[in-house]
């Protein structure tokens, strides 16, 4: 049984408990990897003292040696290893993927192993039978893992085979006689780095049903960190809230914290012990490489904040000596330290989520965990031009699988244009739909939320194709220019900013090239807009309702509508969202509301209108939308008190748009 306890504000991070036959596992949790039933270099006493409630063992390796017969004789892995906590067993799919001599078919995976005298066949049914013999608390379906950068045709074929194997694994699990303890079975979402495949995989597996949890597989096998984070974020959103989510084989401490932020509950990775073997340690001072000569005479502790044996007993110089001499004790000490670092990180994450402080913790850790050796940073690499920083203020640059870049807000982890090519969306949603822009008369255009300037530059590109039109005054409002400055520094990723207009605007606050005058207004929009001439056209693109909450309130839209009354002609407002709550607020503010074009995954966007003397060719929402709104669970925006809902419902019903 899995139970969610607390979900962090402004994040999908959550705490929960997974109840197993060998104890309760508090999540988010890191599972040390004990591939063959033991965690490398660590004794049973060390593992118990470590406090990790669950270990990972591997079906493939335990099937090859010692084989299912031994486990049936000794009563499973728990009794054999004396481990008192829970075990999760991987199905063997990743290990087969890493072999060179393998043959995949509908039946299963046929392979050779040096420890086996002949070829072996691992089928979904045999994988379940082996995991039943092992007696693991959580079993995995057999899947086909492939390189995350594989072509889409290969990724689809592997994903569909994984789905069919998942059904066979579930059937085998149900048909085998009950074991001595209850065992849970997790399905595995595949699809490489193709969003449409990942969405399909999550949908198919959840529709099959009957699984006790879901894993995200096929990551940390070739993709970039940004691709991994985007895929994880998308998949967790599609998985059931009430079931655990397991990110397989990932990764560094930073990877774990980013995945916790995106709603992942369970992790495993070989890095803590594998990197220890090569003298590397995760510490509160950054990642240290004890092989470096700088530690030959270093007498301070490895990590002053850690209470493991390596940190409380030995100096860095001794650990350096053990690593350079390839003494097994060095590997053991650093592995224990690294495992403790991971377990403590997850314990701290659980505490921060429960205390309601995870957002600040995440923002702090995503910087701290990315650090290298802070005490002895390596010198600069010569002859290499440094890349511009990928982070500025509250924002960072992310690159998507489709090749385009976006700006992400660090604290909320929300991304400008997370799934749509930004320039295409700006052109389609904010410029191409406008009827006012198609006229030749002089216009005032408000660009509310400059961001990375995609919307403003889309307008400029349009004007350059039509130089004979009337004068346009473009006013961009922004309270935080860090996103704009960050994008300007990354022109390789943000090609639209190679135009001189953006750089002139950034330097002087004004750009003029007839018929366009572009001005920048820096500060709080709600305090500055009243001093500006009322617009004919509005690009409404504040970052999001979560990040810029006041900008999406009913009070703001009412103030905006009042400011437009000096016009005797129509005004258009375009925005990217089509939420029921937003459209309700616009209607209550006095606007007429129409359907905007689809954009990427969004079936509709939104157009708000202040009707004037010149009619506009937009399809207004009708009574059918009102009927659909009745079924919505979020009819009003969060800024509207519940006690006002009844009165506002009457106002909405009396809106002149419905009479029209």
Asked if residue 66 has a cis previous peptide bond (ω within 30° of 0), the answer is: yes
| Pairwise CA distance, residues 46 & 331, whole Å | 14
Please give the pLDDT value at position 509: 93
The separation between CA 571 and the C-alpha centre of its own chain, rounded to angstroms, equals 37
Write down the H helix ranges in 262-379: 271-277, 309-313, 316-324, 328-355, 358-368
Strands 102-104 and 391-392: unpaired
Across 166-180, 336-350, 517-531, least confident range: 166-180
Share above pLDDT 70 across residues of the chain, in percent, rounded to a whole number = 96
Report how far residue 61's alpha carbon sits from residue 333's, in angstroms, rounded to the nearest whole number.
26
What's the confidence (pLDDT) of residue 119?
Answer: 80
Q: For residue 489, what pLDDT is reported? A: 93
| The predicted structure's pLDDT at residue 383 | 60
Give the residue-averaged pLDDT of 205-221: 95
Domain residue spans of the chain: 29-268, 270-377, 405-659
| pLDDT at residue 100 in the model | 44
Q: Computed over its alpha carbons, how large is the radius of gyration of the chain?
A: 29
| DSSP characters over 523-543 | S-HHHHGGGSPPPSEEEE--S
Query: What would the mean pLDDT of 71-87 be, rounded to a whole number?
Result: 95
DSSP alpha helices (H): ranges in 239-327? 253-261, 271-277, 309-313, 316-324
pLDDT at residue 528 above 80?
yes
As annotated, the active-site residues are 90, 268
The predicted model gives 291-297 an average pLDDT of 94
Distance separating alpha carbons of residues 368 and 397, to the nearest angstrom = 18
Report for 65-69, 115-119, 473-477: range of highest mean pLDDT: 473-477
The DSSP annotation for 602-646 comes to BS-EEEEEE--SS-----B--HHHHHHHTT-S--S-TTS-GGGHH
**CATH code of the region 29-268:** 3.20.20.105
Q: Pick the range with the lowest mean pLDDT from 108-112, 154-158, 579-583.
A: 108-112
The CA-atom distances, in angstroms, between 242 and each of 16, 263, 617, 653 are 10, 12, 46, 37
- What average pLDDT does the segment 366-381 reach? 84
Overall average pLDDT of the 350-356 stretch: 97
Widest Cα–Cα separation across the chain: 88
Q: Is pLDDT above 50 for 490?
A: yes
- The reported pLDDT for the residue numbered 207 is 98
Q: Which tokens in the block code for residue 369? A: 């965990």
- Minimum mean pLDDT range among 271-275, 385-389, 532-536: 385-389
Q: Which band of pLDDT confidence, cut at 50, 70 and 90, is reported for residue 382?
A: low
Q: Which pLDDT band holds residue 387 (cuts at 50, 70, 90)? A: confident
CB 645 within 8 A of CB 630: no
> Among 63, 191, 178, which Cα is nearest to 127's?
63
CB 66 within 8 Å of CB 302: no
At 96, is the pLDDT very low, low, confident or very high (cuts 50, 70, 90)? confident
CA distance 134 to 68: 7
Q: How far apart are CA 54 and CA 286, in angstroms?
A: 27
The stretch 197-201 carries a mean pLDDT of 97
- Joined tokens for residue 227: 């691709």
C-alpha distances (whole Å) from 109 to each of 92, 117, 121, 180 are 10, 17, 6, 29
Q: Are strands 14-20 and 23-27 parallel, antiparallel or unpaired?
A: antiparallel
Judged by average pLDDT, the poorest of 37-41, 323-327, 418-422, 514-518 is: 418-422
Mean pLDDT over each residue of the chain, to the nearest integer: 92
Residues 328-357 have a mean pLDDT of 97
Q: Which has more confidence, 160 or 118? A: 160
Chain Cα centroid distance, residue 409 = 12
Task: Output the pLDDT for position 159.
Answer: 96
CB 567 within 8 A of CB 612: yes
660 — pLDDT class (breaks 50, 70, 90): low
Closest CA to 203 of 187, 192, 223: 187
398 membership: H or E segment, kind and range: strand 395-399
Encode pLDDT of 3-53 as tens digits. 999 999 989 999 999 999 999 999 999 999 999 999 999 999 999 999 999
C-alpha–C-alpha distance, residues 155 and 145, integer Å:
9
CA-based nearest residue to 636, from 552, 569, 566: 552
Structure tokens at 188: 């595995």
**Per-residue confidence (pLDDT) for residue 289, from 0 to 100:** 95
Residues paired with 31 in a beta bridge: 268
Beta partners for 86? 54
Average pLDDT over residues 214-227: 90
Structure-block tokens of residue 145: 């893992």
Model confidence at 468: pLDDT above 70: no
At 182, list the tokens. Answer: 């209850």
- Taking a C-beta distance cutoff of 8 angstroms, is the pair 504, 511 a contact? yes
Q: Quick check: 438 pLDDT over 70?
A: yes
d(CA 209, CA 187): 9
| Phi, psi (deg, nearest 5) at residue 245 | -125, 130
What's the whole-number mean pLDDT along residues 63-71? 92
Q: Other C-beta atoms within 10 Å of 563: how many? A: 16
**pLDDT bracket for residue 103 (50, 70, 90):** confident
Q: Residue 514 class from Cβ within 10 Å (0-12 exposed, 13-18 middle, 19+ buried)?
A: exposed
Of 390 and 567, the structure prediction assigns the larger pLDDT to 390
Q: CA 619 to CA 596: how far, in whole Å?
A: 8
Pairing of strands 405-409, 213-216: unpaired
Q: 120, 88, 22, 30: which is closest to 349 by C-alpha?
A: 30
Helix axis angle, 500-508 relative to 454-465, nearest 10°? 130
CATH assignment, 405-659: 3.40.50.150
């Amino acid at each position: 049984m899995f139970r969610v306890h607390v979900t962090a504000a402004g994040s999908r991070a959550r705490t929960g408990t997974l109840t197993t036959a060998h104890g309760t596992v508090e999540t988010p949790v890191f599972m040390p990897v004990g591939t063959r039933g033991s965690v490398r270099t660590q004794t049973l006493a060390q593992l118990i003292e470590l406090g990790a409630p669950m270990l990972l063992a591997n079906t493939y390796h335990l099937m090859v040696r010692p084989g299912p017969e031994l486990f049936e004789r000794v009563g499973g892995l728990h009794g054999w290893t004396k481990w008192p906590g829970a075990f999760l067993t991987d199905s063997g799919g990743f290990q087969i993927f890493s072999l060179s001599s393998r043959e995949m078919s509908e039946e299963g995976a046929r392979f050779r192993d040096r420890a086996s005298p002949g070829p072996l066949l691992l089928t979904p049914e045999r994988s379940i039978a082996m995991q039943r013999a092992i007696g693991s608390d959580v079993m995995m379906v057999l899947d086909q893992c492939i390189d995350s950068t594989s072509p889409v045709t290969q990724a689809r074929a592997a994903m569909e085979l994984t789905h069919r194997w998942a059904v066979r694994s579930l059937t085998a699990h149900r048909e085998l006689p009950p074991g001595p303890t209850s065992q849970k079975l997790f399905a595995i979402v595949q699809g490489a780095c193709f969003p449409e495949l990942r969405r399909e995989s999550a949908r198919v597996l959840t529709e099959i049903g009957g699984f006790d949890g879901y894993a995200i597989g096929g990551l940390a096998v070739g993709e970039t960190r940004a691709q991994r984070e985007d895929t994880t974020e998308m998949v967790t959103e599609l998985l059931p809230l009430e079931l655990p989510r397991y990110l397989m084989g990932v990764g560094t401490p930073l990877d774990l914290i980013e995945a916790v932020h995106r709603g992942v509950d369970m992790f495993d990775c070989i890095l803590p012990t594998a990197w220890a073997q090569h003298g590397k340690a995760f510490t509160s001072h950054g990642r240290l490489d004890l092989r470096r000569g700088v530690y030959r005479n270093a007498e301070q502790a490895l990590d002053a904040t850690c209470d493991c044996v390596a940190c409380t007993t030995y100096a860095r110089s001794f650990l350096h000596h053990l690593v350079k001499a390839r003494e097994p004790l060095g590997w053991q000490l650093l592995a224990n330290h690294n495992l403790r670092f991971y377990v403590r990180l997850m314990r701290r994450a659980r505490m921060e989520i429960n205390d309601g402080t995870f957002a600040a913790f995440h923002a702090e850790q995503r910087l701290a965990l990315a650090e290298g050796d802070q005490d002895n940073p390596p010198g600069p690499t010569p002859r290499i031009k440094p890349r511009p920083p990928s982070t500025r203020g509250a924002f960072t640059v992310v690159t998507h699988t489709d090749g385009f870049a976006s700006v992400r807000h660090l604290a909320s982890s929300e991304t400008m244009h997370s799934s749509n090519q930004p320039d295409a969306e700006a052109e389609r949603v904010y410029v191409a739909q406008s009827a006012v822009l198609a006229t030749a008369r002089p216009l005032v255009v408000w660009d509310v939320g400059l961001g990375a300037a995609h919307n403003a530059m889309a307008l400029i590109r349009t004007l350059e194709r039509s130089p004979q039109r009337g004068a346009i005054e473009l006013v961009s409002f922004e309270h935080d220019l860090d996103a704009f400055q960050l994008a300007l520094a990354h022109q390789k990723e943000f090609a639209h900013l190679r135009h001189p207009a953006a750089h002139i605007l950034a330097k002087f606050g004004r750009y003029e090239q007839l018929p366009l005058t572009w001005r920048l207004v820096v500060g709080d929009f709600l305090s500055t807009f009243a001093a500006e001439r009322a617009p004919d056209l509005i690009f409404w693109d504040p970052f999001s309702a979560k990040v810029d909450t006041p900008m999406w309130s009913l009070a703001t839209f009412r103030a905006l509508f009042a400011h437009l009354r000096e016009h005797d002609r129509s005004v258009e407002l375009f925005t990217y969202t089509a939420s029921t709550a937003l459209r309700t607020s616009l209607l209550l503010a006095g606007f007429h509301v129409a359907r905007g074009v689809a954009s990427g995954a969004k079936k509709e966007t939104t157009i708000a209108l202040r009707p004037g003397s010149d009619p506009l060719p937009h399809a207004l929402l009708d009574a059918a939308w009102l009927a659909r709104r009745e079924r919505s669970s979020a009819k009003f925006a969060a800024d509207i008190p519940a006690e006002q809902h009844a009165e506002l419902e009457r106002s909405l019903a009396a809106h002149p748009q419905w009479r029209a």
